[in-house]
């Protein structure tokens, strides 16, 4: 093979590699955006995604209800995604600060406060969203809506240590 042929094939190979790389980047960006746009409620048995598909399939929303859901969700979703991202970012920065030999407790206190405020706002927006969706539901759909949102508002003892009752009893002498 001549030198020109080798260089031509090298250029062709590099072009193919660039196209594949760009395609991979675009695919991953698209996948990440799809994941980011889904809001989910984590339950013991998995995650309930609070999207149109969930409300149509699980609650059996009709077209009118879906239109109402879309309108409610249009303002709720970006706000909740922003709040969740902010909380997660602060938690990451906080953990980084905790890893330092001498963590700055003033920074940690400030970040804790900010996380608490954002979490409070998240709960506020979530209950407003719930009440708005509940208004759209017919009576048969509200029970399923309650089951879907229950993990957000009831901990079922998750916050208590396993021997919480026994420990409390020991302190009552």
Q: How confident is the model at residue 160 (pLDDT cuts 50, 70, 90)?
A: very low
In a domain, 27, yes or no: no
The packing angle between helices 139-153 and 105-136, to 10°, is 170
Q: List residues bridging with 41 in a β-sheet.
A: 48
Q: What is the CATH number of the domain that holds 129?
A: 1.20.120
Query: Is 35 contained in some domain?
Result: no
d(CA 52, CA 62): 11
In a domain, 173, yes or no: no
Is the pLDDT at 12 greater than 70? The verdict is: yes
Is 120 a member of any domain? yes
Provide the whole-model pTM: 0.60
Domain that holds residue 80: 49-157
Whether the pLDDT of residue 165 is over 70: the answer is no
Q: Compute the distance between CA of residue 169 and CA of residue 106 in angstroms, rounded to an integer.
A: 36
Is residue 5 domain-resident? no
CA dihedral 95, 83, 128, 35 (to 10 degrees): -100
Q: Is residue 66 part of a domain?
A: yes
Q: What angle do CA 131, 132, 138 make, to 5 degrees?
A: 85
For 88-134, write each residue's pLDDT tens digit.
Answer: 999 999 999 999 999 999 999 999 999 999 999 999 998 999 999 99
Q: How many residues does the chain have?
A: 173
- Show the tokens assigned to 74: 């249009």
Residue 45 has pLDDT above 60, yes or no: no
> Does some domain include residue 14?
no
Lowest mean pLDDT among 1-10, 101-110, 153-162, 163-172: 163-172
If one counts the domains in the chain, the total is 1
Show Cβ contacts of residue 124 under 8 Å, excluding neighbours closer than 6 positions.
Answer: none
- Give pLDDT, residue 167: 45
Q: Which residues contact 55 (CB under 8 A, 6 or more apart)?
A: 61, 65, 66, 69, 133
């Amino acid at each position: 093979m001549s030198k020109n042929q080798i260089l031509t094939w090298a250029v062709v190979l590099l072009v193919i590699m660039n196209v594949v790389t760009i395609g991979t980047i675009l695919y991953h960006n698209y996948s990440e955006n799809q994941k980011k746009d889904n809001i989910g409620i984590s339950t013991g048995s998995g995650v309930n995604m609070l999207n149109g598909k969930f409300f149509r399939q699980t609650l059996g929303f009709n077209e009118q209800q879906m239109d109402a859901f879309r309108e409610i969700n249009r303002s709720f979703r970006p706000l909740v995604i922003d709040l969740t991202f902010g909380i997660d970012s602060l938690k990451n920065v906080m953990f980084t600060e905790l890893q330092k030999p001498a963590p700055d407790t003033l920074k940690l206190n400030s970040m804790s406060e900010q996380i608490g405020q954002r979490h409070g706002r998240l709960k506020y927006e979530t209950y407003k969203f719930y009440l708005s969706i509940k208004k759209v539901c017919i009576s048969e759909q509200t029970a399923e809506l309650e089951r879907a949102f229950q993990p957000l508002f009831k901990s079922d003892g998750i916050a208590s240590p396993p021997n919480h009752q026994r420990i409390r009893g020991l302190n009552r002498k």
